[in-house]
Amino acid sequence: MRLSKIAFATAGAAALSLSMAMPAVALPPGGANTVDSAGTSATVGKTAIAYDGKNCVLPYELKGFPAGTTASVKVDDGKVAGANPSVQYDSVWAQSKVDANGVAKGSIDLCEKTKLPVGKHYLRFLTTEYDANGEVKARYSTRGKTDFEVVTKIETPDPGKTNPGKTNPGDSKDGSTGGGGGIAIVIAIVVALLGAIGAAVSGAIPGLPRP
């Protein structure tokens, strides 16, 4: 009985040490780095989202991470827990594979996630690069220009509606067309032109009286 307990304890310790020795897929083993790595950048496709079913998706694009790695996406440096604990920790909201050019693209449907509080937020991208022996080669982190804001409602402009505060330049305040002044100017120009033509003709033909 004593031997079986020792064997069980030994196996448990070995399993624990093995699990601790396994490298993380995307997150730096030392924890999230809050300093942007040199040569990296990140952007989001919109600056405001709302839980209205139409403006929930937040697209993102990451550049400068090592090809073949997997970038994990956190919100507010992990201060807000995500909705999927199975994706490497509950503070990871999404993961994207980095292509051969060091670019990763994806999106987060915030209507399907734990709702963020109204206000300003940002994304943080993290990954770890390993060498052929499985040793940590480099750790990458970037926030970039990923600031966005959660609002209660996003107003969508209706192109079919006119601005009630504006009127057409030719309209008067009472809604009537104010084109009388323009017509008077045109008539004055025409009269002046006719007078000039008449003067030229009378000067060119002898015997005609000048106007």
Give whole-number Cα distances, 150 to 84, 122, 147, 157, 204, in Å. Answer: 20, 10, 10, 19, 80
Does pLDDT of 104 surpass 70? yes
Cβ-Cβ contacts under 8 Å for 78 (sequence gap 6 or more): 32, 91, 124
pLDDT tens-place string over residues 144-179: 999 999 998 887 766 666 555 555 555 555 545 455
Mean pLDDT, rounded, for 183-198? 70
Does pLDDT of 88 surpass 60? no
Between CA 161 and CA 62 the distance in angstroms is 39
Mean pLDDT, rounded, for 179-205? 65
Between CA 148 and CA 107 the distance in angstroms is 13
How many degrees, rounded to 5, is the angle at CA 133 between CA 15 and CA 41? 105
What does the pLDDT read at residue 37?
94
Which homologous superfamily does the CATH classification assign to the domain defined by 23-151?
Immunoglobulins (2.60.40.10)
Categorize the per-residue pLDDT at 90 as very low, low, confident or very high, splitting at 50, 70 and 90.
low
What does the pLDDT read at residue 25?
44
pLDDT tens-place string over residues 16-66: 443 333 343 444 444 456 789 999 999 999 999 998 888 889 999 999 999
pLDDT tens-place string over residues 107-146: 998 887 767 889 999 999 999 999 999 999 999 999 999 9
What does the pLDDT read at residue 187?
76
